Structure 1
């Protein structure tokens, strides 16, 4: 008769606890948003805190100094750029109907053009369905952007609470680490520390590096579009910055959206926008990314494309943004637990 040994029992109990915690967090996830934002903010600011600590400041004063500096920068952004961004968003929202009509006119012209071509009825029906699908997709994208903007405004309290929570996380980081390690069996602490460092290396490469790159690309794109007198340059630059976090597809999405908006103004501007964004993406891919990231995440391009498509299917744009780092973390955890099972 099969008899369970102590190690197997411990694994089963541990797995049960993990599943129980996962179910608990699923029940309370609506209130977790500020905590996730706080963890993200603390992780981003941690290198700056460490830098000022090395310069002689205490951790608390380093956090206060960084918060004070960021508040000055944020205030400057709010008073100088936020009104312009909001004005562009409002203007963009007001012109969406006209853009939709213009897009429909392009589709109508295309339909009239290809209707003159002698195509079999089956192919013509498929083409009509594809055109209708594209039109519906554009409308859904517009609705999705609007809903996302409204959702961000509805989470104002979470954005206010997050920095407060992040302050405590940053100030007591070592205490939290020590407390967490003390909860673990002594024999597993070294393994957990090594595992944490590997995960930190992945997140450091992806999150911190890509945020820096996204900001640089967004700023350069905005300035370039302003120079050619492109409408909604700030909105497109902001959108490009966010989409740039998504490997491969992000740059493509940004170019398609920018060119589509420019095309509704003039073909000449659309050509300029296409050339500018193509040059910026080439600079980002061949100059900026290698300097900032310094290393890849260890995933084959085919694997990256697969997880991006899976992430997009499961969670939309947010799913695509999170797909690669989550996959890398899961691979690290999978290898860790497989090695532990082999050692049993």
Structure 2
């Protein structure tokens, strides 16, 4: 005899209203375990990316440089493409960038050659002033000229002995450095090759990649990748603008003070702006040393204060104005990221750390669905002053003094 529809509905209601068996794993533990597995999977994926990047470091650095070139030159290419074919706009934008950097390098080299002799004489005068201060100054201890000469001669003798005993290793290092130069040219050529294709047909390449994915993932991947590229390109262009402004301000400061080699030192400040936290202080130290050798303590102090002021203008005015909210990372995150990047990849790791962290955070912020933020910290209930075991577990246990077992 088959049950009727009403009977089946009654059975469903009874089954729904009956208490469910207690699971072996609490819900909070099951949820925490699931989240933990997700985190472990993400960490493993990031570790694989880092491992692959270290194994093919040349390709990874070349692609990163190509992304930087593309983000900086893409607005120029788009503007030129309004009045000419896209391919011609790409060639013209690359040519303009090459002429800019070639002209800058030529100016720096000519400045160094033209002022090198005077700088060497001023540096020798500065060394003599320092030695005279150490020998005849008000310090409680004195260093004579003969002691300094003996110290320098000992250093020269140690250097000669080191070269004689390690001639084979030094020759191998020369060959290795020649290979490093060849690798550098190869990396630059590869990055230029990738940049040309990204500027000319980057949209078509990305569309082809999206078509290889399942349809249900395409929109989400495109949205997250667009957020990451928006952040990366904003960081690259903003850093280029800020570094150029820092270099120009440093150049004007050094010219006003009268420090020789103002152009090379300004270029050093420009390069230092690309290395977070440590680039600007290193450039400031070098500029201060040159100012000390050329003009004395007062000029060195003026240059030090001026370069430090340029750093404050960069951090509090230029970066918020140029980058806006495209890159918003806490200073603690920046410090930890730069430190970790330096240990993992040296100078290049320090340069790469901040844009990588910014891109990861941008993608995460795009994909997540955040809950409403807290206006203030939640109230913590007060803890009871004394809690007896019998009141919490229902058991009556004797209270034994903590030192009972220590009595003889």
User: Aligning the two structures, in what range does the TM-score lie when normalised by the shorter sequence?
Assistant: 0.5 to 0.7
Q: 1-side partners of 2:140 and 2:351: how far apart?
A: 37
| Structure-2 change in CA distance of 1:250 and 1:22 (3 Å) | closer
Return the structure number with greater helix share: 1
Query: Paired residue for 1:47, among 50, 75, 85?
Result: 75
What is the aligned-residue RMSD (CA, Å)? 4.5
Cα distance per residue 1:272-319 (max 9 Å; x no partner): 212322332333334333332223623222222222232233333332
Q: Match of 1:84?
A: 110
Gaps of 5+ in 2: 1-39, 143-173, 370-408
1:171-182 to structure 2, matched below 5 A, reads 171-182=200-211
Structure 1's 315 and 98: CA in aligned 2 closer, same or farther, altered over 3 A?
farther
**Aligned position for 2:58:** 30
User: Is 1:291 matched with 2:308?
Assistant: no
Alignment equivalent of 2:270, drawn from 234, 238, 241: 241
- Residue in structure 2 matched with residue 317 of structure 1 by the alignment: 347
Please list the CA deviations of residues 213-255 of structure 1 after superposition, one character each: whole Å capped at 9, or x if unmatched. 1012112212321332213322321221122234444433332
Distance 1:36 1:230 in 2: 36
When residues 91 and 60 of structure 1 are mapped into structure 2, their CA distance, relative to the original with a 3 A threshold, is farther
Indicate the SS of the match to 1:184. coil
Which residue of 2 is the match for residue 331 of structure 1? 361
| TM-fit CA distance, 1:192 | 0.8
2:140 and 2:363 mapped to 1: Cα distance? Answer: 53
User: How has the CA–CA distance of structure 1 residues 181 and 98 changed in structure 2, closer, same or farther, with 3 Å as cutoff?
Assistant: farther
Query: Normalised by the size of structure 1, how large is the TM-score?
Result: 0.67
Instruction: Give the secondary-structure state (helix, strand or coil) at the position aligned to 1:297.
Output: coil
The number of residue pairs the alignment matches comes to 297
Q: In 2 relative to 1, CA 151–296 (structure 1 residues): closer, same or farther, beyond 3 Å?
A: farther
Which residue of the partner structure matches residue 283 of structure 2? Answer: 254
Which of 193, 197, 218 is the equivalent residue of 2:247?
218
1:1-344 aligned within 5 A? 26-30=54-58, 33-53=61-81, 55-78=82-105, 80-84=106-110, 87=113, 154=182, 155-265=184-294, 266-295=296-325, 297-333=327-363
Q: 1:311 touches 1:322 (CA, 8 Å); kept in 2?
A: yes
Indicate the structure (1 or 2) with the bigger Cα radius of gyration.
2
Tell me the CA shift for residue 50 of structure 1: 2.1
